Amino acid sequence: MTQLGELLSIQQLRYSFGSRVAVKDVSLNVRQGEVFGLLGANGAGKTTTISCIAGLLKDWTGRMLFNGQQFAPAVHAHDRLQLGYVPQELAIYPNLTAEENLKFFAKLSRVPSSEMKQVVASNLELAGLSDRRRDLVATFSGGMQRRLNLACGLVHSPALILLDEPTVGVDPQSRNHIFETLMRLRAQGHSLIYTTHYMEEAQRLCDRIAIMHDGTIVAVGTHEELALSIGDRQANLEQVFLQLTGRSLRDE
């Protein structure tokens, strides 16, 4: 793979919920045009890490650089403009149509009104919802809502897209559609941070993967590099993951 320039660099990121440290000195680099996977069990710190990057949490310590510049998305709105956030929940409005939802988020993301029509149309196309553009979201299937949820995070064509488990509860067709969309975005030069605990998804989509365990990154690299790190070149991602994080149950 061609070595690409760094888009986001995180150093020693630390975040606590009261006395409980959720993210412990996490450092990672996301390159331009790559899909970077954050893989971990429930409570490993994936969502907290992505929330810090998205500007949802502000009291973190450490350092973030975006294109080599200081990056404080919780403080500066223009830093958040570089990001597209697709939350785990279906964060769309069921009483609006697909078109109205896209228009709403496009307006918040400062898409010029002259480009609005074209932006909305292209994102409806991306979500495969052009023929349902004027239908209320409440009438959509779960998969359609997931696709719209993704499209709402892309309306302003951000440089870095944060995807927090975007395929939870999605049927195979919609999941495949989402994967194809993400591949297309990567091909267009967007960078993606993708959190999941589905091994096969991470293996299929991600150029590099960071395995998180108990708030720390225990390993980072391509699938091959991770397999090598446990001394088994043939190991699949699940075997690597279990080897690195242990087999005990995660209840956090």
Binding site for another protein (CB under 8 A): 17, 54-59, 77-78, 80-81, 83, 85, 87-93, 105, 108-110, 152-153
Closest separation in Å from C-beta 111 to another protein = 11
Q: Nearer Cβ to another protein, position 79 or 238?
A: 79
Q: Nearer Cβ to another protein, position 129 or 161?
A: 161
Closest separation in Å from C-beta 88 to another protein = 8
**Separation of first and last alpha carbons in the chain:** 37
238 phi/psi in degrees, rounded to 5: -65, -40
Closest separation in Å from C-beta 169 to another protein = 14
Q: Nearer Cβ to another protein, position 93 or 179?
A: 93
Burial of 146 (0-12, 13-18, 19+ CB in 10 A): buried
CA atoms of 140 and 98, how far apart (whole Å):
9
Closest separation in Å from C-beta 164 to another protein = 9
CA atoms of 47 and 217, how far apart (whole Å):
13
Q: Nearer Cβ to another protein, position 90 or 244?
A: 90
Q: Which amino acid is at 186?
A: R
Which two structure tokens, joined as six digits, stand for 235? 């190991």
